[in-house]
Amino acid sequence: MNKKVNSWIVSLVLLVAVIVTVWIYYPTQDENISTGQEEKVKKLLMTSSAHINSGMESVQRIGELENIPSKNIKK
């Protein structure tokens, strides 16, 4: 249960980070929006989604490592 909660917390934190980042960097709907700025936002979104995917893979990997049986470990 704790691992599931941790994974949801990580997902929520990453989602909030992406939303805040896009909110800060996304230009307001002015008439003079440059196409260069739109490209920056697209690259930012692609990078953010890549970070989220790698973060979720890390969480899954940590969960797999925690499930390793401890019978081979001497106490």
Q: What is the pLDDT of residues 29-68, one digit of tens each?
A: 554 555 667 777 777 777 777 777 777 777 777 767 666 6
pLDDT for 48: 76
Task: Rank 3-7, 23-27, 64-68 by mean pLDDT and report only the highest.
Answer: 3-7
6 found inside a domain: yes
17 found inside a domain: yes
What's the domain count of the chain? 1
Residue 47 Rama label (left phi>0; alpha psi -120 to 50; beta):
alpha
Supply φ then ψ for residue 44, to 5 degrees: -65, -45
Strand locations in the chain (E) = none
Domain that holds residue 10: 1-23+34-53
Amino acid making up residue 59 = V
69 found inside a domain: no
Instruction: Record the pTM.
Output: 0.35
What's the whole-number mean pLDDT along residues 6-28? 82
